[in-house]
Structure 1
Amino acid sequence: MPQPSMKAVVIRAPGGPDVLKIESLPIPTAHPGRVLIRVKAFGLNRSEMFTRQGHSPGVKFPRVLGIEAVGIVEELGEGVTGLAKGDKVATAMGGIGRDFDGGYAEYTCPPATQVQRIETSLPWEVLGALPEMIQTAWGSLYKALRLQRGEHLLVRGGTTSVGLAAAALAKQLGATVSSTSRSAGRADFLKEGGADHVFVDDGNLANEVRKTFPDGVDKVLELIGVTTLEDSMACVKIGGIVCMTGIVGNKWSFSDFNPMEKIPNGVCLTSYSGGSDDFMTTPLGQCAKHVESGALKVHVGKVFNIDDIVEAHRCMDENKAGGKIVVLT
């Protein structure tokens, strides 16, 4: 009997959005320690765009991309405990979509060590936005920045999906939040998402921040990357922390970096990338409950069907989503 098949998005060579093709592949087998998930939705991430463009040397093609997915447990591999068929689950990180086929498909089969069970009534298009976005924002704020109630957080790249989630989480904690956008027209949008102050970012923000807050802010979440990192470090007060998490600026490293010259006295510089362990310690179920109650706002930018994956990636490339892009299967 032939093995049952599924619809999947396959990339066989790097390039633009058009290299993503819908193909029929065998449904994965739940080998020992793995969980077969019937995917209901998955979010798009810029790391997948970089992989598609050929900037992830460790990823071999052909590959089904997708570093996250939400869905329903279809089958459990031998030795898997704590989950049952029919459970709602989320998976992210840990090699999914990079070392093995990921969430851009009707089924995916990650290790159980990176699968969280979630009790929620959220619709799939909202739940699908959460795993990687919340994991990244949560880890950046609480693990890397060690944000505390009453502190002042600056989110550099405030209109990104992670920036919006971070602002919402920080406000829920009781922090003061400033967010940035390159467009003054996005100020109301950012304030609706939790920002107390909005700065228009032309790449040289420190002087404007210091005009409003002469001592600087306590913490900076840097989502643009090295193109603005030096300026972000100038926004922080002595004893403050800057965490580089994102690379929306599409530049991975400094051309020339002298730490003694670039890092101000008394300012701490760290980073956050997140892994499967970080994902599993993220209280995703708790956050989902806060989203259900309205206590935590998340911004789903646009929702696509899996058949429209090329259009979805094009939307991501052009930064036109206005929030997290979610794809339904």
Structure 2
Amino acid sequence: MKAVILKDKVKMGGKIAPLYYEDVEIPKPGQGEVLIRLRTASLNRRDVFIRYGAYPGIVVPSIPGSDGAGIIEKLGEGVQGLEIGNEVIINPAIGWGDNPSFPSPSFSVLGVPMDGTYAQYIKIPAENVFPKPKHLTWEEAAAIPLGGLTAYRAVVTKGTVKPGDTVIIPGIGGGVATFALQIASAKGAKVFVTSSSDKKIENAIAMGAAGGVNYRSENWVKELKTLSGGADLSIDSIGGDTFNDLIHLAKHGSKIVSFGATLGPVNNLVMPRIFFKQMHIMGTTMGTPDEFADMITLFEDKQLRPVIDKIYPLQDIDEAHRQMDHGNLFGKIVLSIPE
């Protein structure tokens, strides 16, 4: 089969590791596993960060890629409830464990060190395979898993979003942020966004956001406070000074759920602003199998469709990663897998 291979580890802060598009053996499903003929895959920033050496436990050679959708081709011994020919979507959260509050020590994300979805075939534990929503194209199905799961846990499980809540999502445009907007809106919340791009704000409003502000404006925090009335819930992937701005925007008794820190550490944090507002600040990443199932059900019930920015053939993986690393994206980058 054709696959994209990561062969080299690099030190964080150095050059990006190359990828190789090569022929490798088709994997054989073992006990409790299925073999899937992948139709599509999609990119996450995790994939690029791994090439920069920014994740622990990198093992080479490995096939990257966390998101994918395809057709079951073989069943390993002991697999029940699935059939050859089923159209499926993959949950990339491997081995979460029994505690819904946090993952087990053996938890991992699909795609390095476990071979991932940048390939024509993948073997995967049967428990990580779910029916593909019928209303979605192959490209849309592959776009959902990691970003949709992360957003669902942040907004619904940790954020306990309710109809009428005001939700603020800074830095709209990335995959998880756009999923958070869709999920919060589907749950009846009023969503406000920020971006450095007026076009992205317009796109977000077209998706259901109630409004947004350009954070390059000198008084954007005051403007957003006036526009939104303050946040019942903020979904943050930015960190840095933006986290302090979200505290300023927060209502009393509100929540901030954090899943990233693209601006780095939060400096000059004034603790009384948190405890006098009786705030709840929570961290989250990925999610449980039940949350994945509930997320897929929400997409089916509300007929939600992920936003796709670009589609590339698998062999153009270098260009796809360049766009992920440097491009001005709104939504997901998807890979079509050759027959």
Q: Tell me which residue corresponds to 2:211.
A: 197
The alpha-carbon distance between structure 1 residues 42 and 184, as it changes in their structure 2 partners (threshold 3 A), is: same
Query: Residue 105 of structure 1: which of 108, 111, 119 is its match?
Result: 119
- Counterparts of 1:47-62 in structure 2, within 5 Å, are 47-62=46-61
The alpha-carbon distance between structure 1 residues 50 and 279, as it changes in their structure 2 partners (threshold 3 A), is: farther
For the 8 Å contact 1:136–1:274, the answer to whether it is kept is yes
Q: Tell me which residue corresponds to 1:93.
A: 93
Q: Tell me which residue corresponds to 1:117.
A: 131
Q: Tell me which residue corresponds to 2:70.
A: 71
How far apart are residue 261 of structure 1 and its match?
5.5
Q: Tell me which residue corresponds to 1:263.
A: 274
CA-to-partner distance for each residue in 1:66-98, whole Å, 9 max, x for gaps? 112111111111111111111111112223112
Q: Tell me which residue corresponds to 1:3.
A: none
How far apart are residue 208 of structure 1 and its match?
2.8
Measure, in 2, the Cα distance between the counterparts of 1:227 and 1:41. 37
How far apart are residue 212 of structure 1 and its match?
3.2
- Counterparts of 1:92-171 in structure 2, within 5 Å, are 92-94=92-94, 95=108, 96-171=110-185
CA-to-partner distance for each residue in 1:193-230, whole Å, 9 max, x for gaps? 1111111124985333333345x211101122345222
For the 8 Å contact 1:17–1:311, the answer to whether it is kept is no
Measure, in 2, the Cα distance between the counterparts of 1:208 and 1:194. 20
Secondary structure of 1:234 counterpart: helix
The one-letter code matched in structure 1 to 2:162 is Q
The alpha-carbon distance between structure 1 residues 195 and 308, as it changes in their structure 2 partners (threshold 3 A), is: same
The one-letter code matched in structure 2 to 1:8 is A
TM-score by length of 2: 0.86
Q: Which blocks of at least 5 consecutive residues in structure 2 are unaligned?
A: 95-107
The alpha-carbon distance between structure 1 residues 258 and 177, as it changes in their structure 2 partners (threshold 3 A), is: closer
Q: Tell me which residue corresponds to 1:12.
A: 7
For the 8 Å contact 2:33–2:76, the answer to whether it is kept is yes
Q: Tell me which residue corresponds to 2:105.
A: none
The alpha-carbon distance between structure 1 residues 182 and 14, as it changes in their structure 2 partners (threshold 3 A), is: farther
Q: Tell me which residue corresponds to 1:33.
A: 32
Measure, in 1, the Cα distance between the counterparts of 2:62 and 2:240. 29
TM-score by length of 1: 0.88
How far apart are residue 133 of structure 1 and its match?
2.4
Measure, in 1, the Cα distance between the counterparts of 2:334 and 2:47. 13
Measure, in 1, the Cα distance between the counterparts of 2:327 and 2:290. 27
The alpha-carbon distance between structure 1 residues 310 and 18, as it changes in their structure 2 partners (threshold 3 A), is: farther
Kindly report the root-mean-square deviation, in angstroms, between the aligned alpha carbons of the 2 structures: 2.3
Q: Tell me which residue corresponds to 1:298.
A: 306
Measure, in 1, the Cα distance between the counterparts of 2:127 and 2:85. 18
How far apart are residue 317 of structure 1 and its match?
0.5
Query: Is the deviation greater in 222-231 or in 282-291?
Result: 282-291
How far apart are residue 319 of structure 1 and its match?
2.9
Measure, in 2, the Cα distance between the counterparts of 1:227 and 1:67. 30
Q: Tell me which residue corresponds to 2:100.
A: none
- Counterparts of 1:244-283 in structure 2, within 5 Å, are 244-249=258-263, 251=264, 253-254=265-266, 260=271, 263-265=274-276, 266-277=278-289, 280-283=292-295
Query: Is the deviation greater in 200-209 or in 147-156?
Result: 200-209
The one-letter code matched in structure 1 to 2:181 is A
The one-letter code matched in structure 2 to 1:236 is A
